[in-house]
């Protein structure tokens, strides 16, 4: 009998379009390999569709808020059906950049310095605080958002302007800007899968660089690092994965500067689109897309 896989994709986050692409790619590959697949949105009909379809496994293809922050995971827990990627607590901790960075620091994982911004701070006050604690330039980002959505590199002149643009969010972070190389690491359960370096033509690896094929971001694999440094960055990513209690696949985003690796954040639900990094890393190490998906499904079953 064909295994039934229900894929949840779409949603209401700013990463909806990427989630739909992930869901489509996963469904296409699983159908080619004799799985019974259905795709649905995480809306008010979700419960009815799960009960009617009775899937063996739920593939969570959501990205961003409500999809990888513990919200949908909390709902899925009530069905007692295996679902892919990390659980409630790990998802919530990883998505919250303030919490995850505090956990990294407590566990001696290097991450850029940061301060939490309060919207009642005036221009002069925040500039003084940044000068004192971080120095310019800085990175401004929402605390609970993914895929570099609404991330800005700021100097003294445009900091306050960019902060005001983020009033749609309850919480915003101002982070030390780390120059250097962009390196991403994939972890597969307890395995250090591999790393890839990105050279964006844009100012940094933002949303446009990630998902627009015309952005011409260069993907470099294998990464030009010494054996010692490669092992070091892989080990840091695995440590972060374990420290947050993640399961399945994660992708950690690093900056490499002055021979130090700075962990920016960990993504508990990496994309599975044609431009996504985890499938590319897996393919380089001999793991086809269908093998990767089968492993993710198997891992979900083991962790139920």
251 is catalytic: yes
Which position among 67, 253, 276, 299 bears the catalytic label?
A: 253
Active-site entry in 251, 252, 262, 276: 251
Q: How many domains does the chain have?
A: 3
- Of the two residues 245 and 171, the one the predictor is more confident about is 245
Q: Is 211 a catalytic residue?
A: yes
Least confident range of 83-92, 106-115, 135-144, 234-243: 135-144
CATH of the domain at 261: 3.30.470.20
Is 34 annotated in the active site? no
Assigned domain for 21 exists: yes
Same domain for 41 and 122?
A: no
Q: What is the CATH number of the domain that holds 139?
A: 3.30.1490.20
- Would you call 304 a catalytic residue per the annotation? no
Q: What is the per-residue pLDDT for 260?
A: 96
The answer as to whether 251 is a domain residue is yes
Q: Where are the beta strands (DSSP E) in 75-151?
A: 114-117, 138-142
Residues 154 and 60 in one domain: no
Domain boundary among 134, 159, 176: 176
Closest to 217 measured CA to CA, from 229, 208, 225, 226: 208
Farthest CA pair distance, the chain: 66
Residues 251 and 289 in one domain: yes
Which pLDDT score, from 0 to 100, does residue 187 have?
98
pLDDT at 270 over 80: yes
Which of these is catalytic: 13, 15, 67, 117?
Answer: 15
My answer on whether 146 and 192 are in the same domain is no
Q: Which of 67, 205, 271, 299 is catalytic?
A: 271
Task: Look at residue 6 in the predicted model and tell me its pLDDT.
Answer: 97
Kindly state whether residues 165 and 131 are assigned to the same domain. Answer: yes
Check pLDDT > 90 for residue 2.
no
Mean pLDDT of 75-85: 94
Q: Do 138 and 267 have their domain in common?
A: no
Residues 148 and 212 in one domain: no
The closest alpha carbon to 229, from 204, 198, 262, 260, belongs to 260
Residue 89 CB partners (closer than 8 Å, separation 6+)? 70, 245
**71, 117, 207, 211: the active-site residue:** 211
206-211 LR contacts (CB < 8 Å, sep 24+): 206/148, 206/151, 207/147, 207/148, 207/149, 207/151, 209/148, 210/147, 210/148, 210/275, 211/18, 211/147, 211/273, 211/275
**147 catalytically annotated:** yes
Listed range (75-84, 124-133, 165-174) with the worst mean pLDDT: 165-174
CATH no. for residue 28? 3.40.50.20
Read off the pLDDT of each residue in 230-250 and give the average, rounded to a whole number.
97
| Residue 167: inside a domain | yes
Active-site annotation holder among 9, 162, 252, 267: 267
d(CA 256, CA 235) in angstroms, rounded, equals: 14
Domain range enclosing 171? 114-176
The average pLDDT across 280-299 equals 96
Return the percent helix, strand and coil in the chain, to nearest 5: 40, 25, 40
Are residues 57 and 78 both part of a single domain?
A: yes
Q: Please check whether residue 136 lies inside any domain of the structure.
A: yes
Q: Where are the alpha helices (DSSP H) in 54-96?
A: 71-77, 88-95
Please provide the average confidence, as pLDDT, over all residues in the chain: 90
**Strand residues in 61-169 grouped as ranges (E):** 114-117, 138-142, 152-154
Cis peptide bond prior to 108, omega within 30° of 0: no
Closest CA to 166 of 141, 147, 134: 141
Work out the percent of the chain whose per-residue pLDDT is above 90: 68
56 and 79, same domain (yes or no): yes
Q: Is 232 helix (H, G, I), strand (E, B) or coil?
A: helix
In this structure, the answer to whether residues 201 and 155 fall within a common structural domain is no
| Residue 275 lies inside a defined structural domain of this protein | yes
The better pLDDT of the pair 135, 252 is held by: 252
**Residue 290 backbone zone (phi > 0: left; psi -120 to 50: alpha; other: beta):** alpha
Q: What pLDDT digit, counting tens, does each position of 208-220 carry?
A: 545 455 557 899 9
Residue 71's pLDDT band (cuts 50, 70, 90): very high
One domain for residues 99 and 37: no
210 and 98, same domain (yes or no): yes
145 carries an active-site annotation? no
Q: Does residue 276 fall inside a structural domain?
A: yes
Catalytic residue among 68, 145, 206, 265, which?
265
Average pLDDT over residues 34-58: 94
Torsion from C-alpha of 221, 225, 230, 232, nearest 10 degrees: -150
147, 150, 162, 276: which one is catalytic?
Answer: 147
Residue position matching structure tokens 């499904």: 297
The CA distance from 5 to 296, in Å, is 12
265 is catalytic: yes
Query: What pLDDT was estimated at residue 168?
Result: 77
Residue 89: inside a domain, yes or no? Answer: no
Looking at residue 163, what is its pLDDT? 85
Q: What is the pLDDT of residues 176-230, one digit of tens each?
A: 999 999 999 999 999 999 999 999 875 554 445 454 555 578 999 999 999 999 9
Share of the chain above pLDDT 70, in %: 93
Cβ neighbours of residue 210 closer than 8 Å, sequence gap 6 or more = 147, 148, 217, 275
- For position 21, what pLDDT does the model report? 94
Place of tokens 């969570």: 60
Q: How far apart are CA 161 and CA 236, in angstroms?
A: 35
Q: Is residue 204 part of a domain?
A: yes
């Amino acid at each position: 009998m064909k295994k039934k896989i229900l894929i949840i994709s779409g949603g209401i986050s700013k990463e909806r379009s990427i989630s739909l692409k992930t869901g489509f790619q996963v469904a296409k590959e699983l159908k080619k390999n004799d799985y019974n697949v259905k795709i649905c949105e995480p809306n008010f009909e979700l419960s009815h569709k799960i009960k009617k379809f009775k899937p063996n496994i739920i593939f969570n293809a959501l990205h961003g808020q409500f999809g990888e922050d513990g919200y949908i995971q909390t709902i899925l827990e009530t069905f007692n059906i295996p679902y892919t990627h990390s659980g409630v607590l790990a998802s919530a901790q990883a998505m919250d950049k303030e919490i995850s960075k505090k956990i990294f620091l407590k566990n001696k994982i290097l991450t850029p310095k940061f301060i939490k911004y309060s919207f009642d701070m005036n221009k002069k006050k925040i500039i003084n605080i940044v000068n004192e604690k971080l120095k310019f330039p800085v990175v401004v980002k929402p605390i609970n958002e993914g895929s570099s959505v609404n991330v800005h590199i700021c100097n003294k002149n445009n900091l306050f302007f960019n902060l005001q643009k983020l009033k749609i969010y309850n919480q915003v972070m101002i982070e030390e800007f780390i120059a250097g190389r962009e390196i991403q690491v994939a972890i597969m359960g307890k395995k250090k899968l591999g790393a890839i370096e990105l050279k964006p033509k844009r100012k940094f690896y933002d949303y446009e660089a990630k998902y627009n094929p015309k952005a011409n971001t260069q993907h470099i694999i294998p990464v030009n690092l010494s054996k010692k440094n490669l092992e070091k960055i892989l080990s840091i990513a695995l440590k972060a994965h374990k420290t947050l209690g993640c399961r399945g696949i994660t992708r950690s985003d690093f900056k490499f500067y002055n021979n130090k690796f700075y962990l920016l954040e960990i993504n508990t639900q990496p994309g599975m689109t044609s431009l996504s990094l985890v499938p590319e890393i897996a393919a380089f190490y001999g793991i086809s897309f269908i093998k990767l998906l089968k492993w993710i499904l198997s891992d979900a079953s083991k962790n139920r």
